Amino acid sequence: MIEIKHGKNVRRSKSWDELTQSELLEVFRVMNAPWYDSTSRLELSKFLDQKRETNRFVIQHIAVYPEMKTIEKWAVFLRLKNGMRLYGPEDGFKNVTMGEFLFADTYYFAYARDKNPEQLNKFIATLFRPRRKKYRKGNRDVREDFNETLIPGRSMLIEKLIPEARLAILFNYGAVRKDMCKKFTHLFPVREKTQPVDNKPISLPEWHKWMWNLADGNTDEDFDKVARSLCLNILSKIDDLIKDSKNKKR
């Protein structure tokens, strides 16, 4: 538990996903600032470790300008130096397509393996996109449709984001991903406590293989249909395929 002070007001928070966006960013700023007391930074690290799973995206917007503008609570966006706003995923990946998840997850693990900032920028550029031009209330996604060809150019803009914002998004994604994995026990089996820890190098996900398996007819058009579908639906189908395969082997 930590105490957050706003003037004379004090609020206690049991877990990091109860924090506001600005509070979580402040946590990461302090943790990554060597001039702060090492004991305080260690306590903040322990506070984050207390809860490694959540379905909530705490980050709602990041601004590089001094002023901060309020938007709808459910919408997430980054405000870059050129004034562009990029909106991010909803809680629990509810509006993330399988194609988007494929690229985001690949960049996520690539950064975990290589610690290359370019991979981190591409990871964020995959998830955060401009608002669609003809957005109507009730649409499943406020963001424009995912287009992988725009990732390299947009990732160059992401370089302008403050470090604590990039780290907070990375951390938040990992926590939401862990929470999501619990829904698909065959696709993401839980390692038994008696099993030895695997110290092999991090391997990148091979989601495209499963997507081709689900693509009826195995044509590019069929693959695109899978890629445009919501990732939670596709992951559920993949989980069922693995379950059926295990049952047949019995």
User: What digits encode the pLDDT tens for the residues 47-66?
Assistant: 888 888 999 987 755 543 33
| Mean pLDDT to the nearest integer, 107-125 | 95
Sorted by where each begins, the domain ranges of the chain are 1-51, 53-189+204-250
Please check the confidence at residue 250 and state whether its pLDDT lies above 80. Answer: no
pLDDT at 194: 58
Per DSSP, helices labelled H in 17-145 are 21-31, 38-49, 98-114, 117-127
The phi-psi region of residue 28 (left if phi > 0; otherwise alpha if psi is between -120 and 50; otherwise beta) is alpha
| Mean pLDDT to the nearest integer, 128-144 | 78
Confidence category of residue 131, pLDDT binned at 50, 70, 90: confident
Distance, in Å, from the CA atom of 106 to the CA atom of 99, rounded to the nearest integer, reads: 11
Tell me the residue type at 247.
N
Tokens 């007001």 locate to 9
Distance, in Å, from the CA atom of 187 to the CA atom of 235, rounded to the nearest integer, reads: 8
The encoded tokens of residue 6 equal 């706003």
pLDDT at 179: 94
Distance, in Å, from the CA atom of 59 to the CA atom of 19, rounded to the nearest integer, reads: 10
Model pLDDT for residues 165-206, shown as the tens digit of each residue? 899 999 999 999 999 999 999 998 876 665 665 667 777 778
Dihedral over Cα of 54, 199, 246, 234: its sign: positive
